[in-house]
Amino acid sequence: DTARRLATLLHGIDAHVNLIPLNPTAGYEGSSSRAGEGFQRILLAAGIPCTFRQRRGIDVAAGCGMLKAEKSGRPR
């Protein structure tokens, strides 16, 4: 449903969607490859160019390119 709504919103706009999987961290369940690939299929079928990015940063608890804040007393 979300992918179809996004496709409708982007119809006629020169856009490229980067799908970035969420890595599992404390309090968050990670995105599944199956869900991301399904989202991508819907966008591509609607003519919306998109790329499903590789999962990275899982070893340092990063998600969507953001590093997890450590409890070090330093501000983020």
Per-residue pLDDT tens over the stretch 12-21: 999 999 998 8
pLDDT for 25-69, tens place per residue? 777 787 888 999 999 999 999 999 999 986 655 555 555 544 554
Local structure of 13: helix, strand or coil: coil
**Residues 60 and 21 sit within 8 Å (Cβ to Cβ):** no
**Residues 10 and 17 sit within 8 Å (Cβ to Cβ):** yes
Q: pTM here?
A: 0.68
Structure tokens, 21? 């999987």
Largest CA distance in the chain: 48
